[in-house]
Amino acid sequence: MKNWKNILLLAIPSLLSFATQTVVGTINLIMVGHLGAIVIAIVGVVNIIIYNAFALFSGIGHTVNYLVAQNYGANDMRSGIRRTYIALYLSALVGLLLLVIGIFFSDQILWLTTGSKEIADQGTYYLQLRIIAQAFGVVSFALHGFLRGVGDTRTSMILSIVSNVTIVTLVYALTFGHFGLPELGLNGAGYAILAGEAVGFVLALYVFFVVKHKQFHTRTWVRARASEVKELGGESFKLGLQEFSMSLSMFIFTMFVARLGTTALAANEIALNVMAFGFMPAFAFGATATIMVGQEVGRGEPLKGRRAGTDVAIMGSIFILLLGAAEFVFAEPIARLYNSTEPEVFHLAGILIMTSAFLQLFDALYNFYAGALRGIGDTTFLMRASLVTSWLIFVPLAYVFIYMFEWGSIGAWLSLYLYLMVLGISLMVRFYRTDWSGITIRKSAPAEHSAGM
Position 444 in a domain: no
CA distance 126 to 133: 11
259 and 400 belong to one structural domain: yes
Biggest CA–CA distance in the chain, Å, is: 66
Q: How confident is the model at residue 42 (pLDDT cuts 50, 70, 90)?
A: confident
Q: How many domains does the chain have?
A: 2
Q: What are phi and psi of 452, to 5 degrees?
A: -65, 160
Task: Please report whether residue 448 resides in a domain.
Answer: no
pLDDT at 97: 94
- Tell whether 320 and 214 lie within a shared domain: no
**152 and 296 assigned to the same domain:** no
Q: Are residues 332 and 386 in the same domain?
A: yes
The verdict on residue 452 lying in a domain is no
Q: What is the mean pLDDT of the chain?
A: 90
Mind listing the pLDDT tens digit for each residue in 91-145?
Answer: 999 999 999 998 888 888 888 877 777 888 888 999 999 999 999 999 999 999 9
- Give yes or no: residues 263 and 344 share one domain: yes
Find the domain containing 400 and state its range.
Answer: 236-435
| Contact predicate 331/267, CB 8 Å | no
Burial (0-12, 13-18, 19+ Cβ within 10 Å), 413 = buried
What element of type H or E holds 403?
A: none
Least reliable range by pLDDT among 44-48, 87-91, 173-177: 44-48
Note whether 220 and 240 are same-domain residues.
Answer: no
